[in-house]
Amino acid sequence: MQAYLWDGVLRLQGVSPPPCRRQERRISVQALIVYHSKTGHTKQAAEDVARGLEGEGVGCVLKPAGEPGTDLVRGLDIDDFDIVLAGSPTYGNRLYRLPARPVERFMNSLSPGGLKGKTCGAFTVNAGRGGGALVGAMEGLLKKLGGKVVSGGPVVKAGAPLSLYKGPDASVEDVRKCEEFGKKVALAARG
């Protein structure tokens, strides 16, 4: 999988450079972010983390868990990615030890050692409590799969407790934490 970034100088001025002057630089690090979101908060957190990664020159593919093909990541070769991140809402009925079932199925679909040599991390969104415990549990699952885990993934406060009602969005501070986590993961992957 290859992706390219344009030299943004002329693009910022609204002018596309002619093909002979176009400067491209290969993105050598690729990230897969798999997440589950019912109200859109975890999707937004995934996009915020991706923005931090992209700011460091990392190409990102965001994939909702539960979307056809994501349980086994069909159509994508996990070996094409240097970074694998998992995002889940925090559900109390999962006792803060397991991600949402679609994310859990994705993780279980990976073979033992399937993340060996990959930089990994986790993040969660909650409206109540247990987010820190869930991030820790997800990091443990990623380690068991052989990933080099960047610990301390963000816990974003958003939504309404025990509800599918959208509730309040993440704070500016939580958005910043997600972007900073993306940068931290990018630097660790280049390590």
User: Is residue 3 scored above 50 in pLDDT?
Assistant: no
Domain ranges of the chain: 28-190
- Averaged pLDDT for residues 52-65: 95
User: Is residue 59 scored above 70 in pLDDT?
Assistant: yes
- Among 1.10.3720.10, 1.10.357.10, 3.40.50.360, 3.10.400.10, name the CATH number for the domain at 28-190: 3.40.50.360
User: Is residue 64 scored above 70 in pLDDT?
Assistant: yes
- CB of 3 within 8 A of CB of 59? yes
Q: What percent of the chain has pLDDT over 90?
A: 55
Residue 123's pLDDT band, with cuts at 50, 70 and 90, is: very high
Q: Which residue has the higher pLDDT, 8 or 87?
A: 87
